[in-house]
Chains A and B, each alone.
Chain A
Amino acid sequence: QQQVKQSPQSLIVQKGGISIINCAYENTAFDYFPWYQQFPGKGPALLIAIRPDVSEKKEGRFTISFNKSAKQFSLHIMDSQPGDSATYFCAAIYNTDKLIFGTGTRLQVFP
Protein backbone atom coordinates (compact mmCIF):
# COMPACT_ATOMS: atom_id res chain seq x y z
CA GLN A 1 0.00 0.00 0.00
CA GLN A 2 3.03 2.22 0.43
CA GLN A 3 4.20 1.70 -3.13
CA VAL A 4 4.22 4.21 -5.93
CA LYS A 5 4.24 2.61 -9.37
CA GLN A 6 5.92 4.51 -12.19
CA SER A 7 5.97 3.98 -15.94
CA PRO A 8 7.56 3.82 -18.39
CA GLN A 9 10.97 2.69 -17.23
CA SER A 10 12.60 4.52 -20.12
CA LEU A 11 11.43 7.06 -22.65
CA ILE A 12 12.93 8.37 -25.86
CA VAL A 13 11.53 11.61 -27.24
CA GLN A 14 12.42 13.83 -30.15
CA LYS A 15 13.43 17.40 -29.39
CA GLY A 16 10.31 19.56 -29.24
CA GLY A 17 8.06 16.63 -28.41
CA ILE A 18 6.01 15.94 -25.29
CA SER A 19 7.35 13.59 -22.61
CA ILE A 20 4.75 11.90 -20.42
CA ILE A 21 5.53 9.92 -17.28
CA ASN A 22 2.81 8.23 -15.25
CA CYS A 23 2.54 7.24 -11.61
CA ALA A 24 -0.07 5.45 -9.53
CA TYR A 25 -0.48 5.06 -5.79
CA GLU A 26 -2.63 3.11 -3.34
CA ASN A 27 -2.42 4.96 -0.05
CA THR A 28 -5.13 7.62 -0.01
CA ALA A 29 -3.45 9.26 2.99
CA PHE A 30 -0.73 10.67 0.75
CA ASP A 31 -1.16 14.43 0.64
CA TYR A 32 1.79 15.73 -1.36
CA PHE A 33 3.15 14.49 -4.68
CA PRO A 34 6.51 15.87 -5.82
CA TRP A 35 8.48 15.10 -8.95
CA TYR A 36 12.25 14.97 -8.87
CA GLN A 37 14.78 15.26 -11.69
CA GLN A 38 18.12 13.55 -11.26
CA PHE A 39 21.23 13.81 -13.40
CA PRO A 40 23.93 11.12 -13.18
CA GLY A 41 26.03 11.43 -10.03
CA LYS A 42 23.82 14.17 -8.60
CA GLY A 43 21.12 14.29 -5.97
CA PRO A 44 17.45 14.52 -6.99
CA ALA A 45 16.24 18.08 -7.59
CA LEU A 46 12.67 19.05 -6.74
CA LEU A 47 10.99 19.91 -10.04
CA ILE A 48 7.33 20.49 -9.31
CA ALA A 49 4.81 19.24 -6.77
CA ILE A 50 1.05 19.05 -6.33
CA ARG A 51 -1.51 18.43 -3.59
CA PRO A 52 -4.53 16.17 -4.19
CA ASP A 53 -7.04 19.01 -4.02
CA VAL A 54 -5.65 20.38 -7.30
CA SER A 55 -6.15 18.66 -10.66
CA GLU A 56 -3.35 20.35 -12.55
CA LYS A 57 -0.30 22.46 -11.86
CA LYS A 58 1.92 24.07 -14.46
CA GLU A 59 5.37 25.56 -14.07
CA GLY A 60 6.98 26.59 -17.31
CA ARG A 61 7.25 23.54 -19.59
CA PHE A 62 6.39 21.14 -16.76
CA THR A 63 2.81 20.19 -15.90
CA ILE A 64 1.46 17.75 -13.32
CA SER A 65 -1.96 16.26 -13.94
CA PHE A 66 -3.63 14.68 -10.92
CA ASN A 67 -6.59 12.29 -10.92
CA LYS A 68 -7.61 11.72 -7.32
CA SER A 69 -10.38 9.22 -8.04
CA ALA A 70 -8.06 7.05 -10.13
CA LYS A 71 -5.15 7.58 -7.73
CA GLN A 72 -2.91 8.51 -10.62
CA PHE A 73 -0.74 11.46 -11.50
CA SER A 74 1.49 12.28 -14.40
CA LEU A 75 4.26 14.63 -15.47
CA HIS A 76 4.13 16.26 -18.87
CA ILE A 77 7.23 17.94 -20.27
CA MET A 78 6.30 20.17 -23.19
CA ASP A 79 8.77 21.11 -25.91
CA SER A 80 11.27 18.57 -24.56
CA GLN A 81 14.92 19.58 -24.87
CA PRO A 82 18.16 17.56 -24.84
CA GLY A 83 18.96 19.23 -21.50
CA ASP A 84 15.88 17.52 -20.06
CA SER A 85 17.60 14.14 -20.49
CA ALA A 86 17.71 12.77 -16.96
CA THR A 87 15.99 10.29 -14.67
CA TYR A 88 12.65 11.42 -13.29
CA PHE A 89 11.14 10.15 -10.07
CA CYS A 90 7.62 10.64 -8.87
CA ALA A 91 7.11 10.48 -5.13
CA ALA A 92 4.40 10.64 -2.54
CA ILE A 93 4.40 11.68 1.08
CA TYR A 94 1.97 11.82 3.97
CA ASN A 95 2.29 14.80 6.28
CA THR A 96 5.97 15.04 7.23
CA ASP A 97 6.49 11.33 6.74
CA LYS A 98 9.10 9.75 4.50
CA LEU A 99 9.06 10.17 0.75
CA ILE A 100 7.99 7.08 -1.17
CA PHE A 101 9.65 7.12 -4.57
CA GLY A 102 8.63 5.53 -7.80
CA THR A 103 11.11 3.36 -9.66
CA GLY A 104 12.23 6.14 -11.98
CA THR A 105 11.99 6.92 -15.68
CA ARG A 106 15.08 7.49 -17.75
CA LEU A 107 14.27 10.16 -20.32
CA GLN A 108 16.41 10.68 -23.40
CA VAL A 109 15.66 13.61 -25.68
CA PHE A 110 17.32 13.46 -29.07
CA PRO A 111 17.93 16.55 -31.22
Chain B
Amino acid sequence: DAGVTQSPTHLIKTRGQQVTLRCSPKSGHDTVSWYQQALGQGPQFIFQYYEEEERQRGNFPDRFSGHQFPNYSSELNVNALLLGDSALYLCASSLMEQGAFFGQGTRLTVV
Protein backbone atom coordinates (compact mmCIF):
# COMPACT_ATOMS: atom_id res chain seq x y z
CA ASP B 1 0.00 0.00 0.00
CA ALA B 2 1.60 3.25 -1.18
CA GLY B 3 -0.32 5.38 1.29
CA VAL B 4 -1.20 8.95 0.35
CA THR B 5 1.05 10.32 -2.38
CA GLN B 6 1.39 13.96 -3.36
CA SER B 7 3.13 15.66 -6.26
CA PRO B 8 5.23 17.61 -6.70
CA THR B 9 7.20 17.59 -3.44
CA HIS B 10 8.56 21.10 -3.92
CA LEU B 11 7.45 23.97 -6.10
CA ILE B 12 8.56 27.55 -6.60
CA LYS B 13 6.12 29.98 -8.21
CA THR B 14 6.03 33.70 -8.87
CA ARG B 15 3.43 35.96 -7.30
CA GLY B 16 0.31 36.12 -9.48
CA GLN B 17 0.84 32.71 -11.06
CA GLN B 18 -1.42 29.70 -10.74
CA VAL B 19 -0.47 26.31 -9.29
CA THR B 20 -1.96 22.80 -9.31
CA LEU B 21 -1.09 20.24 -6.66
CA ARG B 22 -2.02 16.58 -6.94
CA CYS B 23 -2.95 13.86 -4.49
CA SER B 24 -3.59 10.13 -4.72
CA PRO B 25 -5.40 8.80 -1.66
CA LYS B 26 -4.61 5.67 0.29
CA SER B 27 -6.05 2.59 -1.35
CA GLY B 28 -9.73 2.20 -0.49
CA HIS B 29 -10.15 5.73 0.85
CA ASP B 30 -12.91 7.79 -0.76
CA THR B 31 -12.57 11.11 1.04
CA VAL B 32 -9.80 13.61 0.37
CA SER B 33 -9.11 16.73 2.41
CA TRP B 34 -6.58 19.48 1.81
CA TYR B 35 -4.77 21.41 4.51
CA GLN B 36 -2.38 24.34 4.51
CA GLN B 37 0.41 24.34 7.07
CA ALA B 38 2.43 27.50 7.56
CA LEU B 39 5.85 27.18 9.15
CA GLY B 40 5.55 26.48 12.87
CA GLN B 41 1.77 26.20 12.75
CA GLY B 42 -0.76 23.42 12.79
CA PRO B 43 -2.51 22.39 9.57
CA GLN B 44 -5.50 24.52 8.58
CA PHE B 45 -8.40 22.93 6.73
CA ILE B 46 -8.96 24.15 3.17
CA PHE B 47 -11.70 21.84 1.84
CA GLN B 48 -12.85 18.25 1.63
CA TYR B 49 -14.00 16.19 -1.35
CA TYR B 50 -16.26 13.18 -1.31
CA GLU B 51 -17.90 11.53 -4.32
CA GLU B 52 -16.35 14.19 -6.56
CA GLU B 53 -18.15 16.99 -4.71
CA GLU B 54 -16.80 19.60 -2.34
CA ARG B 55 -18.43 18.54 0.91
CA GLN B 56 -17.17 21.30 3.15
CA ARG B 57 -14.84 24.24 3.04
CA GLY B 58 -12.66 26.09 5.48
CA ASN B 59 -11.99 29.80 5.69
CA PHE B 60 -10.04 30.15 2.46
CA PRO B 61 -10.76 32.51 -0.46
CA ASP B 62 -12.18 31.41 -3.80
CA ARG B 63 -8.66 31.51 -5.24
CA PHE B 64 -8.39 28.06 -3.73
CA SER B 65 -10.35 25.47 -5.67
CA GLY B 66 -10.24 21.74 -6.07
CA HIS B 67 -11.44 18.71 -7.84
CA GLN B 68 -11.87 15.02 -7.14
CA PHE B 69 -11.75 12.46 -9.91
CA PRO B 70 -13.71 9.18 -10.18
CA ASN B 71 -10.65 7.26 -8.94
CA TYR B 72 -10.76 9.45 -5.77
CA SER B 73 -7.54 11.30 -6.62
CA SER B 74 -7.71 15.03 -6.16
CA GLU B 75 -6.21 18.34 -7.26
CA LEU B 76 -5.81 21.61 -5.42
CA ASN B 77 -5.62 24.74 -7.54
CA VAL B 78 -4.53 28.12 -6.30
CA ASN B 79 -4.92 31.17 -8.56
CA ALA B 80 -3.29 34.59 -8.33
CA LEU B 81 -0.65 33.40 -5.89
CA LEU B 82 0.32 35.65 -3.02
CA LEU B 83 3.51 35.58 -0.98
CA GLY B 84 1.37 34.48 1.97
CA ASP B 85 0.37 31.31 0.14
CA SER B 86 3.85 29.93 0.76
CA ALA B 87 3.31 26.87 2.94
CA LEU B 88 3.29 23.10 3.12
CA TYR B 89 0.13 21.82 1.45
CA LEU B 90 -1.07 18.54 2.84
CA CYS B 91 -3.50 16.07 1.42
CA ALA B 92 -5.26 13.65 3.75
CA SER B 93 -7.43 10.71 2.85
CA SER B 94 -9.89 8.85 5.00
CA LEU B 95 -12.69 6.35 4.91
CA MET B 96 -15.74 6.96 7.05
CA GLU B 97 -14.89 6.53 10.72
CA GLN B 98 -11.20 5.87 10.23
CA GLY B 99 -8.53 8.41 11.00
CA ALA B 100 -7.13 10.63 8.28
CA PHE B 101 -3.79 9.68 6.74
CA PHE B 102 -1.58 12.43 5.38
CA GLY B 103 0.77 12.57 2.45
CA GLN B 104 4.27 13.99 2.71
CA GLY B 105 3.04 17.34 1.47
CA THR B 106 3.99 19.80 -1.25
CA ARG B 107 6.23 22.66 -0.17
CA LEU B 108 5.08 25.71 -2.14
CA THR B 109 7.27 28.79 -2.19
CA VAL B 110 5.90 31.96 -3.76
CA VAL B 111 8.51 34.56 -4.70
Contacts and interface: CB of A to CB of B under 8 A. Distances in A.
B48 A98 contact: yes
B43 A46 contact: no
A42 B48 contact: no
A5 to B, nearest CB: 11
Contacts of B100: 34, 46, 93, 99
Interface string A24-58: 00000000101010000111111001000000000
A41 B107 contact: yes
Chain B contact surface mostly: strand
Contacts of B104: 42-43
Determine the interface band of chain B, counting residues with CB < 8 A from chain A.
20 to 34
Interface residues of A, number: 21
A46 B105 contact: no
B42 A103 contact: yes
Interface stretch (B11-19, B61-69, B71-79, B89-97): B89-97
A104 B38 CA distance: 12
A96 B96 contact: yes
A97 B92 CA distance: 12
Interface string A53-76: 000000000000000000000000
A34 B99 CA distance: 7
A89 B42 contact: yes
Given A93-B100, A103-B42, 5 more contacts: A34-B100, A41-B107, A43-B6, A43-B102, A46-B102
4 cross-chain pairs, A with B, having the tightest CB-CB distances, nearest first:
A101-B42, A43-B102, A98-B45, A43-B105
Interface of A: 32, 34, 36, 41-46, 49, 89, 93, 96-104
